[in-house]
Each structure stands twice: as structure tokens, then as C-alpha cells.
Amino acid sequence: MSTTMRHSWTIMKPLPERPTFAQLQRYVTEMERERNLNDGSIVEQCLKLSEEVGEVCKAVRKHEALSIDPASTIGSLGHELADVLIYDLAIANRSGIDLAKELHAHQRARPNRSGAAELTLADLQNFVAEATADEHHLSGTLIEQCLLLSARAGTVYTVALTSQSPPDARPELAGGLIGVLQHLAAIANRVNLDLATALRAKEKINETRVWAKPSLRPAVS
């Protein structure tokens, strides 16, 4: 993204050490408003999600020592996973989807699993680790998880592009977004990454960027 101007002020609260999904969704709402990125449609956010899933695939290829274009710029896997997480949250926000509620519903569907009262990214990673033995789609290799991440993201794109009635499509869209989260967690688990730490590290970089379309709102005195 081209960048031309820098904010001289901010009203964003920093991410907590162990952010809940409710806090994460609020954070992304505030972050997009602060950086004037909140005018993109769901379809536009899906396009960005697609780009970032591709970056995860490139980072996985590098991690697995597969052949890559030597001229290609490849970010760290943790940073690319954080970007996918941000767009997943942004799409959920635009669709009125409460990801914590959807994750709770998915967890309650498994025997002897009620879920924590306030779900965090660590809870998600623990849930996925525990579910690996029971849910085949979460038990594959790193490369398989990367491909399944792409497939689940594809569900999100398809629903966003074909839905004529967003409320009616919300359950299917929520399922796709939860699938993306699960495979993000599965990938992070396989490389011993903490998603919350990866997100804070990426946001520390983002906070130093100069955004092309800064907010024109006056500073709060």
C-alpha cells in the first residue's frame, strides 16, 4: 500500500495481553476507523483476505523448504497469519457476526466441551489442538492445513459474492470464518506460534506505517 501521511495522534487502545474475541473485533473496528480503512465492502475485504492467504502459502513454502521464487518477498509466517486474522475479523464485523458466539456453538457441539466464558486466541489454539484427534480436517500436515485454509477462505468469498440476502447467508458465512480461524490455529500450532503474540508483533509494525488515506477527523483535545 502506498503511504504519504502519518497520524500525529491516536485514540486506539492497545491490544490486551490475552485479548478475547470480543476485544479483537472491537480492536479491528477501531483500527480500521483510525487508519481510514473502514469504507471497504465485504467483497473488498474478501479480496484482501485472498491476498493474505496467498502470503501465508508462500511463507509455508519457505518454512517447508520448498522451491520459491528467489525474487519473491516473503514475510514471516506469524505476520502473515496475523494479517489473515485481521481480515477474518473485519469481514465478521461487516456481517454482524459474533465470532465468540459462533466458536462457543462449535465447541458445545463436541462432547464434554462447554468452552470458556470469554474465548481468547489461546483458547482457540487449545481447542484446535484437542480436536485434532477427533476432527480429521484439523489433523493434517502444515501444507495440508494451508490448503484447507485456502478452501475455507474460498467459502467466505463464495458466500460474499453470491448472497442476495446477507442475513440469510450469515450462518454459512460464519461457518467459513470459523473454518478460517480453525486452520489458522492449526498452522500456528504446528510451528509453535502464539497467535496473540504474532498479532501484537504485526500491529507494532503497522503502527509505524504511514497510511495513504489518514483519518481527517480532528484530534480529541
50: exposed, middle or buried (Cβ count in 10 Å: 0-12, 13-18, 19+): middle
- As beta bridge partners, residue 120 has 20
pLDDT, tens digit (0-9, with 9 covering 90-100), for 130-170: 888 777 788 889 999 999 999 999 999 999 888 755 566 78
12 belongs to a structural domain: no
6 belongs to a structural domain: no
The tally of domains found in the chain comes to: 1
* Sign of the torsion angle spanned by Cα atoms 140, 132, 99, 175: positive
Using the structure block, give the residue that is written with the C-alpha cell 442476495: 164
Q: How crowded is residue 29: how many other Cβ atoms within 10 Å of its Cβ? A: 15
- Find the farthest-apart pair of alpha carbons in the chain and give their distance in angstroms, rounded: 54
List phi, psi (to 5°) of 119. Answer: -70, 135
186: helix, strand or coil: helix
173 belongs to a structural domain: yes
221 belongs to a structural domain: no
100 belongs to a structural domain: yes
8 belongs to a structural domain: no
Domain residues for 79? 21-109+120-206
- Asked if 133 contacts 157 with a C-beta cutoff of 8 angstroms, the reply is no
Q: What is the pTM of this model?
A: 0.85
Element (H, E) at 87: helix 77-95
pLDDT, tens digit (0-9, with 9 covering 90-100), for 89-141: 999 999 999 999 999 887 765 544 545 568 999 999 999 998 887 777 888 89
